[in-house]
Amino acid sequence: MSKQIKNILLAYFVLISVFILPAQDYFSKRLSFYHPPTWNTTHSILPQNDGYVIVGITGDTVDFYWHQIGLLKIDLQGNEVWTKIVKSETGDYYCGYPGSTKMRADSTYFYAGSKGCISNDLFYHKGLLIKFDSNWDVIWINEYGDKIMPLDTSITFLQLNICPDSSMIVSGIEYYFGDNSKAILSKIDKEGKMLWTRRFSNGGINEGRSVVRASDGGYVLGNYRYIPGQSITADPIIYKTDSLGNTEWTKNLGGPYMDYYPTVNISQDGNITIATCYADSMFSIDKAYSRINVLKINNYGTIIWNNKYGVSSIRKFLQNIKNSYNETLISIGFNYTHEYPEVSGWVFKIDNDGDSLWYRQYYIIKGKDSENYFYDIVNTNDHGYMLGGYIYPIMPDTGTQDIWILKLDSVGCDTPGCDPTVGIKRIPGIKNKDDLFIFPNPASEEINCLIHRSFPSSTKAYGGGSSEGGSIYLYDIWGRLIESVKIPSGQSQIRIDVSDYTPGVYFVVLKEGKVVLGRKKVVVCD
């Protein structure tokens, strides 16, 4: 199927969905696992037929220190239904990373994380796996790690995925005291028995942050590697293995600076999607200027496409990427800003070919130093999205560190009718999308905007009234106006210098007054 036909079909399904989808729900709420609340975090959201279950960690209500697992059920409107707490009398429980809690086909649930323990004054972790029934009551709890003295190995599970035979594949970290850590890939049967563990290292600290089962039956491990004492460099490294965990190929997707860890996903076409943040330069020894970076790779290790999006910003973090509707991909994260609040969450959607669709940035508290984090996202029955994370309020914002949930519609809006085109206003009355043609595309030096109409001063605008003349507007993927050019009367071609633009995707819009006459996407490359 050609890309043009796919785009036509995608547009058709989007148009049809406007008429057949149920009414959208919108809400943004602060919640807690305990009442009155202690501190809370959340890293996973599980959709249910009648709502969602939020999974995270909370502190005890006595001294707020002991880490306990929190479960919170909400209905489709975000109202609390029930809460449950899972705790240990002999240690702390910790979450894995986004995607560390999954549902199996038999409606049971599995939680991957770790248990913090103390032995001979050493603090270490055991891998933790918990099985819940369909009502989220515990069936069993398994711990993985050293069982005989000396207890000198620390194991942390970070992400879990369910295999077709109901077994599980888990990624994580294995650390020997006095040595560097290794990324681990563990296969566990459906009853929690460890079948095998494979270890991976590129020197330095290695962390198995994410894992998926590949479409050929093997596994894909997203490893994050950095070298102590060289904090300016950190790399997302991908291992592709066979069904027994033996390495088939390895790819280091990082550059010379401090990149972010990789999140791996299997796209609906069976290829491997990897999402991270790529560092262009360093702000300080431990803070990078980075951009969202998404790649698609086939099972043989061939890169199909590798796209970087937007303008670099300080400390931009990507937490999860998932398949969405009509062969699209949705990702979330957060970034530190120079504006208020200090940390805001973001959500970003692309199509299966890596073309950007929209980007949104949100917060619920907006004090100068307050922090708003997104960690997980799920598709909803109304073709919208439920996002979960947590907030950390700093005065003048008040309250505890709370769960934050946000319900968006199908175009990422938190209210009906928000701008659906990444800051470019979609105005009714577009007459002819072919009024605008861009070449070359991609471009590195300049673009030529060919306009198939003229703008004499005596004409009338499509919307009525006196013509305001024609203009070309360039926006970045965040909807920020980069440049605007007034079109001289009778001129049909405008040249725009893009040699100083940051490489990425931009939108070129042709307007007459407030009426949009054409809109094109252009890629600026190095």
Beta-carbon contacts of 211 under 8 Å, excluding residues fewer than 6 positions away, are: 159, 160, 161, 169, 170, 171, 185, 219, 220, 221, 222, 264
107 within some domain:
no
Taking only the tens of pLDDT, the chain with its 526 residues reads 554 554 444 444 444 444 444 567 899 999 999 988 899 999 999 999 999 999 999 998 776 678 999 999 999 999 999 999 999 988 899 989 988 999 999 999 999 999 988 777 777 889 999 999 999 999 999 999 877 666 778 899 999 999 999 999 999 999 887 678 999 999 999 999 999 999 999 888 999 999 999 999 999 999 999 887 766 789 999 999 999 999 999 999 999 899 999 999 999 999 999 999 999 888 888 888 899 999 999 999 999 999 998 878 888 999 999 999 888 999 999 988 766 788 999 999 998 888 888 888 899 998 889 999 999 999 999 899 999 999 999 999 999 999 999 999 988 888 876 754 443 332 333 333 456 788 888 888 999 888 866 665 433 333 333 345 788 999 887 777 889 999 887 787 889 999 999 888 888 888 877 666 777 888 898 7
Report helix, strand or coil for 141: strand
Instruction: Tell me the C-alpha distance between 311 and 294, whole Å.
Output: 14
Q: Where does a domain end: 381, 414, 447?
A: 414
Kindly list the distances between the CA atom of residue 363 and the CA atoms of 114, 372, 375, in Å, as whole numbers in the listed order.
Answer: 30, 6, 13
- 461 and 403 housed in the same domain: no
Q: Residue 46, CB half-sphere, CA atoms under 13 Å: how many?
A: 22
pTM of the model as a whole: 0.76
- DSSP assignment string, 41-97: EEEEEEEETTEEEEEEEEE-TTTS-SEEEEEEEEETTS-EEEEEEE--SSSEEEE-S
- 29 and 79 housed in the same domain: yes
75 within some domain:
yes
- 320 and 407 housed in the same domain: yes
Query: Residue holding tokens 């507007």?
Result: 473
- Residue 176: left (phi > 0), alpha (psi -120 to 50), or beta? beta
- 398 and 472 housed in the same domain: no
Kindly state the tokens that stand for 5. Answer: 């036909």
| The pLDDT of residue 419 | 55
280 within some domain:
no
Q: Are 144 and 194 in contact (CB under 8 A)?
A: yes
Nearest alpha carbon to residue 45 among 86, 85, 73, 20: 73
310 within some domain:
no
- 369 and 403 housed in the same domain: yes
Before 47, cis peptide (omega within 30)?
no
99, β-bridge pairs: none
Amino acid at site 8: I
- 324 and 381 housed in the same domain: yes
Instruction: Tell me the C-alpha distance between 189 and 196, whole Å.
Output: 10
297 within some domain:
no
- 324 and 402 housed in the same domain: yes
- 410 and 326 housed in the same domain: yes
Query: Residue holding tokens 């577009």?
Result: 430
- 394 and 348 housed in the same domain: yes
| The pLDDT of residue 453 | 65
Residue 515's domain comprises 433-524
68, β-bridge pairs: 58
Kindly state the tokens that stand for 22. Answer: 């149920």
Instruction: Tell me the C-alpha distance between 506 and 377, whole Å.
Output: 26
Report helix, strand or coil for 68: strand
Q: Domain containing 486 — which CATH number?
A: 2.60.40.1220
Q: Where does a domain end: 386, 414, 442?
A: 414
Q: Where does a domain end: 414, 446, 468?
A: 414
Beta-carbon contacts of 121 under 8 Å, excluding residues fewer than 6 positions away, are: none
Beta-carbon contacts of 204 under 8 Å, excluding residues fewer than 6 positions away, are: 180, 225, 226, 227, 228, 230
- 441 and 369 housed in the same domain: no
- 391 and 454 housed in the same domain: no
Q: What angle do CA 349, 352, 353 make, to 5 degrees?
A: 105
Q: What angle do CA 145, 239, 258 make, to 5 degrees?
A: 90
Nearest alpha carbon to residue 175 among 160, 158, 162, 196: 158
306 within some domain:
no
- The total number of structural domains in the chain stands at 2
Amino acid at site 38: T
Kindly list the distances between the CA atom of residue 90 and the CA atoms of 103, 393, 478, in Å, as whole numbers in the listed order.
Answer: 27, 31, 48
Q: Are 503 and 525 in contact (CB under 8 A)?
A: yes
- 331 and 410 housed in the same domain: yes
| The pLDDT of residue 163 | 96
Amino acid at site 176: Y
518 within some domain:
yes
361 within some domain:
yes
